Structure 1
Amino acid sequence: MLRAATEDDVDTIRRLRNQQANRDVSITAHEITADEHAAWWAKTSVDPSRRVLIYTRDGATAGVVNFFDLDGTSGAWGFFLDADGLAERGETLPAWIEIMREATTYAFDELGLDVLTGEVLEHNTVVRQMNRRFRFTEGTPETRYADGREITVIPISLRRQDRRTQGKL
């Protein structure tokens, strides 16, 4: 289930984002400080072009979905899971599939987007494979420098008419 994030979720969002597994596959790989996170939330929580959603599974927070650059017909997104907690319970794959289903449904049915975009690091082959299963297409890779490292970022996109609505992955 997805629900809007509130002030009560801010510390949990930061804790999940700072899990090593999430930092390893993020453009910004450093540990997010409390001050940095507070500044992000202060800006994000009042920005009409953004939505931060909490993904819950069996009543517990299991991930975060960020939508940004929303303009009415297109928008970008990213998400991260409670990598540590889900792995401990053996629920990573079902949670991953569920959050992607729910987030893409939200993007197209709730936000009314025609195109959903995002980015994935080239080395994140598992996510790239899952994105393909959800019918995202990859664009031209771009080399960037972030947090003192060179990374290759691949843009992804999914058009409303191409999305997977039902059935097996």
Structure 2
Amino acid sequence: MLRPATDDDLDAMHAWRNQPPNREVSINSHEITPGEHAAWWSRTRTDPSRQVLIYERDGVPSGVVNFFDLSAAGPGRTGSWGFFLDTAGLGERGETLPAWLEVMREAADHAFDTLGLDELTGEVLADNVVVRQMNRRFRFVEGEPESREADGRTITVIPISLKRENRRRRQPQ
């Protein structure tokens, strides 16, 4: 289940984002300071082009889905997204893979059915082979790789996109 993030979620979001497995696959891989996190939340929570949701698995807060660059209503509506999970908590419960599949499914449903997007975009590090495979499973298409400097390192970033008509739909049970 996805629900809007609130001020009460700030500490958990900050802790999850700084977990090493999440930092290792992020464009900005440095440890986020409490001040950086508070400034981000202050800008984000009132920005109409953004939406931050908490992913709950069996009633337990377990991750963050971040939608941004949401375009205004109308044809060709687009937005970008990213997510990260509580890798430590889900790992302890043996729920990492099912949670990963579920959050991706729920985020795509939210993007297209709730936000009304026609296209969902994002980015993935080129060396993050597992995420790239999962993205393909969900029918995201990769664009041309791009080299970038981030946190004092050169990284290769691949843009991804998923159009509404190409999305994988849940099968009726």
TM bracket, shorter-chain basis: over 0.9
Matching of residues 86-125 of structure 1 within 5 Å: 86-125=90-129
Displacement after TM superposition at 1:163 (Å): 0.1
CA distance in 2, matches of 1:84, 1:21: 9
Displacement after TM superposition at 1:84 (Å): 1.0
Taking structure 1 as the reference length, the TM-score comes to 0.98
Match of residue 62 from structure 1: 62
CA distance in 2, matches of 1:32, 1:166: 36
Displacement after TM superposition at 1:89 (Å): 1.2
RMSD of the TM alignment (CA)? Answer: 0.6
Q: Give structure 1 stretches of 5+ with no counterpart.
A: none
Displacement after TM superposition at 1:85 (Å): 1.0
Which 4+ stretches in 1 moved above 6 angstroms? none
Displacement after TM superposition at 1:102 (Å): 0.2
Displacement after TM superposition at 1:110 (Å): 0.1
CA distance in 2, matches of 1:142, 1:84: 31
1:161 equivalenced with 2:161 (yes/no)? no
Task: Work out the percentage of aligned pairs sharing the same amino acid.
Answer: 68
Match of residue 131 from structure 2: 127
Taking structure 2 as the reference length, the TM-score comes to 0.95
CA distance in 1, matches of 2:11, 2:152: 26
Displacement after TM superposition at 1:87 (Å): 1.1
Residue 39 of structure 1 aligns to a residue whose secondary structure is helix
Displacement after TM superposition at 1:58 (Å): 1.4
Q: Give structure 2 stretches of 5+ with no counterpart.
A: none
CA distance in 1, matches of 2:35, 2:170: 42
CA deviations on 1:33-53 (whole Å, 9 max, x unpaired) are 000000000000000000000
CA distance in 1, matches of 2:88, 2:155: 24
Match of residue 139 from structure 1: 143
CA deviations on 1:47-100 (whole Å, 9 max, x unpaired) are 000000000011111110000000031000000001111111110100000000
Match of residue 45 from structure 2: 45
CA distance in 2, matches of 1:7, 1:163: 32
Match of residue 16 from structure 1: 16
Displacement after TM superposition at 1:11 (Å): 1.0
One-letter amino acid matched to 1:164: R
Residue 65 of structure 1 aligns to a residue whose secondary structure is strand
